[in-house]
């Protein structure tokens, strides 16, 4: 499951060991909490005294139960990240290959700003985030619920610009693509007792002054005219008679 240096892993198939392809076929769909718990425990086991493990530490064998639901994100801008790898479940939800797509593609427009706020704290703090999602019912689309887990990772350069994640939707998918509303989130520090960074728009790094061409135009108040200004608006027209 390598997303760097030209990896070509196949979605839903994370590794091939000794001729045996590892796929997620042995999980209980009624227990999404177990999948999230397994993935979180695996991430914790990789730390080995470090605050955040490396992306290169991830081995498919360790997350075989969560394989179809797992993904790797790459931070591409403040509050924005794209999929480097994604399991079969995410492809089924979107109805297409999601590699290279922004993670906000899975949320409805009204929830994308909040997701961006939460996502940036995962990279910046860094910290762990678990999201509660809801897919509203529509024509050909039954109502579904979902949960997403985001776990920070360090790149080969040592900066926190990767994340190991998991998305689990409960219910019949129906017509793809399926998108969710963000109902709430829970953020926890990677180190017990550390301060939590509360998701906010300023955490994305957009607190600077607006660019000059985007600053609002403040209208000039209408002040009373002076007598000289009133006379200047009139032009004397002479008569030829």
Give, in order, the Cα–Cα distances in Å from 142 to each of 5, 20, 138, 176, 214: 40, 36, 6, 11, 41
Q: Is residue 3 part of a domain?
A: no
Q: Is the pLDDT of residue 124 over 70?
A: yes
Q: What is the mean pLDDT of residues 162-167?
A: 98
**What is the domain-level CATH number for residue 45?**
3.30.450.20
Q: Is residue 26 part of a domain?
A: no
Q: Is residue 236 part of a domain?
A: no
Is 237 strand, coil or helix?
coil
Residue 2: predicted pLDDT = 44
Q: Is residue 14 part of a domain?
A: no
Q: Is the pLDDT of residue 174 over 80?
A: yes
Q: Say if CB 127 and CB 197 are below 8 A apart.
A: yes
Q: Is residue 221 part of a domain?
A: no
Q: State the burial class of residue 88 (Cβ atoms within 10 Å of its Cβ: 0-12, 13-18, 19+).
A: middle
Q: Is residue 24 part of a domain?
A: no
Instruction: For residue 9, name the pLDDT band (cuts at 50, 70, 90).
Output: very low
Q: Is residue 64 part of a domain?
A: yes
Question: Does pTM top 0.85 for this prediction?
Answer: no
Domain range for 171: 33-207
CA–CA gap between residue 216 and residue 160 (Å, rounded) = 35
Q: How many domains does the chain have?
A: 1
Instruction: For residue 202, name the pLDDT band (cuts at 50, 70, 90).
Output: low
Instruction: For residue 65, name the pLDDT band (cuts at 50, 70, 90).
Output: confident
Q: Is residue 50 part of a domain?
A: yes
Instruction: For residue 218, name the pLDDT band (cuts at 50, 70, 90).
Output: very low
């Amino acid at each position: 499951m390598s997303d760097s240096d030209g990896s070509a892993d196949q979605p839903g198939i994370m590794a091939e060991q000794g001729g045996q392809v590892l796929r997620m076929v042995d999980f209980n769909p009624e227990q999404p909490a177990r999948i999230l718990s397994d993935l979180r425990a695996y991430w914790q086991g990789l730390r080995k005294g470090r605050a955040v493990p490396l992306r290169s530490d991830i081995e498919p064998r360790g997350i075989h139960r969560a394989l179809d639901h797992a993904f790797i994100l790459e931070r591409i801008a403040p509050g924005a990240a794209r999929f480097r790898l994604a399991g079969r479940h995410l492809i089924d939800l979107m109805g297409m290959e999601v590699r290279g797509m922004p993670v906000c593609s899975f949320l409805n427009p009204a929830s994308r700003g909040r997701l961006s706020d939460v996502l940036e704290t995962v990279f910046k703090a860094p910290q762990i985030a678990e999201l509660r999602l809801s897919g509203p019912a529509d024509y050909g689309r039954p109502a579904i619920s979902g949960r997403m887990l985001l776990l920070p990772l360090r790149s080969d350069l040592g900066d926190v610009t990767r994340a190991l994640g998991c998305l689990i939707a409960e219910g019949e998918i129906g017509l793809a693509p399926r998108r969710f509303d963000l109902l709430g989130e829970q953020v926890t520090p990677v180190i017990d007792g550390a301060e939590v960074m509360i998701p906010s728009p300023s955490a994305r790094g957009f607190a600077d002054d607006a660019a000059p061409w985007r600053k609002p135009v403040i209208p000039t108040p209408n002040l009373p005219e002076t007598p000289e200004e009133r006379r200047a608006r009139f032009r004397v027209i002479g008569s030829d008679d």
